[in-house]
Structure 1
Amino acid sequence: MNGSDDAEWQVEVFYDGECPLCLREIKLLRWLDRKQRIRFTDISDPSFCPADLGKTMQEFMDEIQGRLPDGTWILGVEVFRRLYSAVGLRPLVALTRLPGLSQGLDLGYRFFAKNRLRWTGRCNAGTCQVMRRREPDAPVAPPADSP
């Protein structure tokens, strides 16, 4: 589940390994992470237990989550900033903090997060409930504002 347990990691990313769009980003990050500064945790892995982290599966499905070595949780675009900083792209990350661009990225990510299940063909019968492989009785409810 974790790609760099022994290394001095700077950020842990909790990603949906069943999301093709998410996996494309993770593959790029794994390739760029030559110094193993990122810990990768696949929330679709049957052994993943969100309760062990004090969170629900719904929280992990609604928005990308990250965790710093001191235990601080980060969400959304900030996770990507930390990931890309960890692989040496700090100048690019600095641009994402500029007024206007920062707000635009936040809006764009929220739009993506709200629609990613639909866009990747993971909605069933008009709903975007995703079933956990390990817990077939426990669907992940759609976000409150989804149709």
Structure 2
Amino acid sequence: MNEVVVWYDGACPLCRREIGLMRRLDRRGALTFIDVAEPGAAEACPLDPAELLSRFHVREDGQILSGAAAFAAMWRAIPLLRPLGLMARNRNVLALLEALYARFLKVRPRLQQWFRAPPSRT
């Protein structure tokens, strides 16, 4: 199995949590994570940093994927999630996942604020 390169927004608390989970699940080290928010990291990325930050991107077998297809590629590299990634190879399943991802992107800014909010003291 080829290595999968994952570009993520390390300045996003929501993204950091998700990538943290993927790191823990990636016991074989099949994923390489690149924090686009780190100084100098964007220069090593094949896409414009703004594009990388607007949607989730990975490189699998030399092909750059984004959105639901990128998540599916990442899942295929993790044994526990591999069945989900394989199911997403079906174009109907991938279309459904992409529609859900598009909806998620609309609420993502609010979710990021929620994850950034300091805990309330009562």
Q: Which TM-score applies when normalising by structure 1?
A: 0.65
Structure 2, gaps ≥5 residues long: 115-122
Matches for 1:15-26 after TM superposition, within 5 Å: 15-26=8-19
Q: d(CA) in 1 for partners of 2:64 and 2:109?
A: 23
| Partner SS for 2:33 | strand
Q: d(CA) in 2 for partners of 1:94 and 1:49?
A: 30
| Partner SS for 1:121 | helix
Q: Partner residue of 2:119?
A: none
| Deviation at residue 114 of structure 1 after TM alignment | 3.8
**Partner letter of residue 11 of structure 1?**
V
Name the CA shift for 1:44/1:104 in 2 (closer, same or farther; >3 Å): same
Aligned with residue 67 of structure 1, among 59, 68, 83:
59
Name the CA shift for 1:10/1:95 in 2 (closer, same or farther; >3 Å): same
Q: Partner residue of 1:96?
A: 88
The CA deviation string for residues 65-111 of structure 1, in whole angstroms up to 9 with x for no partner, is 111353x2111111111111111132222333456543221011122
Contact 1:9 1:38 in 2 (8 A): no
Aligned residues between the structures? 113
Percent identical pairs in the alignment equals 32
Greater radius of gyration (CA):
1
Corresponding position: 1:31 with 2:29: no
Q: Which TM-score applies when normalising by structure 2?
A: 0.77
| Partner SS for 2:83 | helix
Name the CA shift for 1:54/1:91 in 2 (closer, same or farther; >3 Å): closer
RMSD over aligned Cα, in angstroms?
Answer: 2.3
Contact 2:69 2:94 in 1 (8 A): no
The CA deviation string for residues 31-54 of structure 1, in whole angstroms up to 9 with x for no partner, is 01111100000011122224x434
Q: d(CA) in 2 for partners of 1:39 and 1:21?
A: 19
**Partner letter of residue 41 of structure 1?**
I
